[in-house]
Structure 1
Amino acid sequence: MAGDTYPGAATPIGRTAWLLLATRLVRSVWQGALVVDFALYLHALRWSAVAISAVLAAALLVGAVLTMLLGPLSDRFGRRRFLLVYDAAQGLAAAVAFLTAAPWPLAAAAVVGGFGRGGNGSAGPFAPVEQAWLAQCVPAARRGMIYSLNAALGFVGMAAGAVLAGLPSWTGGAAPEAAAYRPLFALTAILSVVTFALVAAAHDSESAPRPPAPGSAPGSGPVSTDDDAAERRRENGLVGRLVLANLLNGAGLGLSGPLVTYWFALRFHHGPSAIGLMMAVGFLLAGAASLLTGWLGRWLGIVRAVVAMRTLGLLLLVALPFAKTFAVAGVLYVARTVLNRGTTGARSALNVSIVRPSRRGFSSAASNVALQIPRAIGPVLAGLMYESGFLALPFLAAAVFQTGYLWVYDRTFRNVTLR
C-alpha cells in the first residue's frame, strides 16, 4: 500500500525490545506527573508566566542541541551508553529539585531534566537514540504496530503520573503550597534508577564503534557507488521535507502545549487534582488511540491515518479557547489529546523508515531537532500573550502552523515507500 509498504517478514521481537518498551512505561509515569504539576509548582513559587515559559524554552533548546549531536553519533557508537547517561542525569536533576526550591538550582535542574515537557515516556533529547535502537530490534513489517504499542505504553504511564499529580491537592487542598509538590521529584529520582537498570539490562547489537567511511558525514552512511550517492540524495530530500513539516508542527505545539495546565489554572481557577485527572483521561484514551492508529496504519497507510486524526484534532484546537466552562474545555482537550497524541507511534515509525538502517539516528535526530527548536520558542510567545491577557491567541496561532504542517506532511509522504 502506498505510504505504508514494508519489506521483510513479521518475525517476533526479542528481549531487548521488551526492555525498551518497559523503560518507556516506567519513564512516562514521572513525565506525566510533572507535565501537569511543574508549571503549577513554579506558579506556586510566585514565578511569572514569562519566567515559567523561559525555563521550559531553555530546556527545549538545550534538548534540541543535544538531539542534533546524539542521533548521528549513536549511528556510529551504539545506543545504550547514551540512554544510560540520560537516565543518570534525570535522577540527579530530580534529586536537586527535591532538595531545593532556590531559583537558579531549580532552573538548572529543570533544563537538565526537561521537567514539564511531557514526552510520553521518550528519552528527551536522547529520543532519536531510543527510536533507532528500537528500530534495529523490530522487523520492518511490525514496526508501525510496535511503535504504536510503544506510544500506547507511554500514554498509560503518563495517565498514571497525571493521577499522581493530584498529590499536592490531596495534602494541601485546592490551592496547595509549593512544598506539597516536591515529593514528586523524589518519585522522579526513584523511577530514573529503575529505568537506568532496565536500559543496562538491554543488549545493543550495534554497540561497537563504527568509523565513518571516507568522504561521509556522521550518520550519512558510506559513499561507495553512484547508486549510493543517488539513494543518499533521495533520502536527504525526504528528511529535508520532514524537517520542514516538523518546524511547522513544533511551532504549533510550542504555542499550545507546554503552558496548557497554566492556561487551565488562569482560565478556570482549578488546581492540580482536577487538571491532572482530566489529563489522565486524555492520556489513557490516547493510548487506546495509538493502538488504533497502528491498525489504521496497516489499513489506510500511516500517512493517511495521521492526517485524518490530526485534522480532527486541529478543529478541536480552534474550539478549545472559546469553551465557557472547565467541563467543556476538558472534553475538548481530552478529545484533541486522543487525536493528536494517538499518532505519536505512527509518526515515529515513519521517521526511521524513510532512510536506510545506517541513517536512522540521523533521520530521527533531524526530525526531533526541527520539532524542538520552534517548540522551545513557542512557550515564550505564549507566556507573553497570557500576561497581556490574550488567552485565546496562542491556540489560534498554533492552528495556523498545524494547518501548514498537515499540508506538507500529506503531500510529501502519502506515496513514499517505507523501509
Structure 2
Amino acid sequence: MSMPTESLPRPARRAHETWPVAVKLIMGARFGRSVGQGALVVGFSLYLHALNWSAAAIGAVLSAGLLLGVVLTLLIGPASDRLGRKQFLLAYEGVLILSALLALASSATWVLTLGAVLGGFGRGANGAAGPFGPLEQAWLAQDLPSAQRSRVFSLNSTLGFFGMALGALLAGLPALWGGLLPGALAYRPLFVLPLMGSAIGLALIWRAPDAKHTRPKPPPAASATATPESDTEIQSVEGNTHRAMPHAPSAHAEKTHDLAHSATHAEENRLLWRLGLANSLNGLGIGLVAPLMAYWFLRRFNHGPATIGPALAASFVLAAVGAQFAQRFVPRYGVVRTVVGMRGVGLLLMVLTPFMPVFILAAGFWAVRAAFNQGTLGVRQALTMGLTRQHRQGLAATVNNVSIQVPRAIGPAIAGLMLHQGWLTAPFILAAGFQLAYLIAYQRFFGGMDKPGS
C-alpha cells in the first residue's frame, strides 16, 4: 500500500526558504507560554508541598488536569479542521490569564486545583497549548511544504525548550526573597510569569492568519488514473489548459478515483491506530516520572528551588540542543532510526538517575537524558503530520496528543502514591519498562517507512 505524498519529512532547503506569517507568530506565542510553564514545572509542586499537600494529592491534581485536557482535545481537535484554530487558542490563552490572576490572589485549594486542571499548572508542555496543542500543530503544518516540516517543528520545539529553561531558572527566585515572603508565600510571585507569557501569546495569536481548510474535492477533469495524492491540495480547473478535458469523466473514472481514495483513507487509519498504540506506551513512561521530577529532587536530596530550578533549566537547554541535532540526523538516518537511537540512550540515562548518590550526579544524568529523549519531539511531530493528507492533519494531531495524554494522565497519580510510600526508585523502573516497549513498537510500526537521505 502506498503512502500519501507527505509520508515522511524531508530535509529542508534553507536557500530562498519562506515560512507563512502564522508559523512565526505561533512559534513566538509558544516561546512566551513556555517561560511560564518552565517556572511552574519547578515551582508548582514545591509550592503545594510548602502548603502541606501530600505527594498523593499533588499527583492526583496533576492527573486531573491531564485528563480534562484529553477530554477537551477530543471535543475540539477534529472540529478545528473545519472551523479554524485561532478562536480556540485565543480562548485558551484567556483561561491561562484568568488562572494565573486567581493564583496570584489566593492559595485556596479550589484556586490551585482549578489552575492545575484548567491552566495546566505544573505539568509543563514545552510551551504547547495544553489540550489545544493538536490545533497548534495542525496550524503550523497547514500551509507548510512537507520538506520544511522537520526543521520547523524542531525549531518550534527548540524555542519551547529554551523558554522552559528560562522559566526554570526564574523559579529559583523564591530563595532570594524568602525573607520578605516567608514560607509558601515566596512561590506566589512566580504566577506572574504564566500571566505575562499568555498575554504575549494572546497578542501574537490575534495577529496570526488562519485559513480554514476543508476536505478538497477532485476536479471535474480528473482522469481515470487519478491517484490517492490527488486530493492533498485544492486544485483549480479554470484556466488550467494542461488539465482541462472536453468531456465529463466516465463512471469508470469516478469509480477508480473513489477506490483509490478509499484505499488511501484506510491506510491512513491503519497508521493512526499504530501511532496511538505506540504513544500509549510512551505516555505511561512519561507520566510516571517527568511531572513530579522537581518534587522527587526535593524528597530524594532535600533540595529547594535554588538548585532544582537550574538543574531542570539545564535539562531544557540540552533538550533544545538535542532537538537541533535530531533534525540534522534525520536526512542521514531517517526519522525512525533517529528517534529509536536517541531515545534508547535517554532511556539508559533515566534508569541510572535514581541510583546516583548525590544531587549533582542525578541532576546531570537527568539533564543529559533530556537531550536524547525530549530532543526528538520535533521530528516525531513532523512524522505525525505526514501520516495523513492535509485535510486530516487535525485528526492526526489529535490522535497523537490524546494517545499520549490519556496514559500520561494516569502516571502522576500512580507515582504520587509510590512517592507517598517512600518508593523513590520504583517510578523510574516502571517508566523504563513502558518506554522500552514504546521504542520496540515505534521501530516495528514505522521502521519500514524510513527513507534516509530522501
Shorter chain as normaliser: what TM range? over 0.9
Q: Which has the larger radius of gyration?
A: 2
Query: Is 1:105 the equivalent of 2:137?
Result: no
1:5: Cα distance to partner?
Answer: 5.6
RMSD over equivalenced CA pairs, Å: 2.4
> After TM superposition, which residue ranges in structure 1, 4 or more long, deviate above 4 angstroms?
2-11, 210-213, 221-224
After TM superposition, list the pairs within 5 Å mapping 1:215-364 onto structure 2: 225-364=258-397
Q: What is the aligned counterpart of 1:369 among 402, 409, 415?
A: 402
**How far apart are the structure 2 equivalents of 1:410 and 1:151?**
22
**Aligned with 1:147: secondary structure?**
helix
1:206: Cα distance to partner?
Answer: 1.8
Q: What is the aligned counterpart of 1:156 among 136, 153, 162?
A: 162
After TM superposition, list the pairs within 5 Å mapping 1:1-80 onto structure 2: 4=8, 6=10, 11-80=17-86
Q: What is the aligned counterpart of 1:378 among 406, 411, 414?
A: 411
1:212: Cα distance to partner?
Answer: 10
1:176: Cα distance to partner?
Answer: 6.0
Q: What is the aligned counterpart of 2:202 among 188, 196, 203?
A: 196
Distance 1:119 1:5, change over 3 A: closer
Query: TM-score, normalising length from structure 2?
Result: 0.86
**Aligned with 2:210: secondary structure?**
coil
Aligned partner letter, 2:335? I
Aligned partner letter, 1:193? A
Aligned partner letter, 1:15? V
Aligned partner letter, 1:178? A
Report if the CA contact (8 A) 1:4-1:297 is conserved: no
Report if the CA contact (8 A) 2:12-2:151 is conserved: no
Aligned partner letter, 2:57? A
Distance 1:353 1:109, change over 3 A: same
After TM superposition, list the pairs within 5 Å mapping 1:402-417 onto structure 2: 402-416=435-449
Report if the CA contact (8 A) 2:12-2:150 is conserved: no
1:352: Cα distance to partner?
Answer: 1.0
Report if the CA contact (8 A) 1:13-1:139 is conserved: no
Deviations 1:96-127 (A, max 9, x none): 11111110122012100011111001101100
**How far apart are the structure 2 equivalents of 1:176 and 1:328?**
30
1:190: Cα distance to partner?
Answer: 2.1
Q: What is the aligned counterpart of 1:167 among 155, 173, 183?
A: 173
**How far apart are the structure 2 equivalents of 1:314 and 1:167?**
31
Distance 1:211 1:237, change over 3 A: closer
Query: Is 1:398 the equivalent of 2:431?
Result: yes
Aligned partner letter, 1:345? G
Q: What is the aligned counterpart of 1:83 among 81, 85, 89?
A: 89
Unpaired segments ≥5 residues, structure 2: 218-232, 235-254
**How far apart are the structure 2 equivalents of 1:8 and 1:278?**
33
1:137: Cα distance to partner?
Answer: 3.2
1:410: Cα distance to partner?
Answer: 1.0
Aligned partner letter, 1:92? L
Aligned partner letter, 1:181? Y
1:409: Cα distance to partner?
Answer: 0.6
Aligned partner letter, 1:343? T
Report if the CA contact (8 A) 1:59-1:114 is conserved: yes
Report if the CA contact (8 A) 1:7-1:140 is conserved: no
**How far apart are the structure 1 equivalents of 2:267 and 2:8?**
18
Q: What is the aligned counterpart of 1:177 among 154, 178, 183?
A: 183
* Number of residue pairs matched by the alignment: 409
1:7: Cα distance to partner?
Answer: 11
Q: What is the aligned counterpart of 1:186 among 165, 189, 192?
A: 192
**How far apart are the structure 1 equivalents of 2:67 and 2:283?**
12
1:8: Cα distance to partner?
Answer: 10
**How far apart are the structure 1 equivalents of 2:134 and 2:215?**
20
Deviations 1:349-394 (A, max 9, x none): 1111111111111011111111011111111111111111211001
Report if the CA contact (8 A) 1:238-1:354 is conserved: yes
Paired residue for 1:216?
Answer: none
Paired residue for 1:141?
Answer: 147
Report if the CA contact (8 A) 1:354-1:417 is conserved: no
**How far apart are the structure 2 equivalents of 1:6 and 1:227?**
25
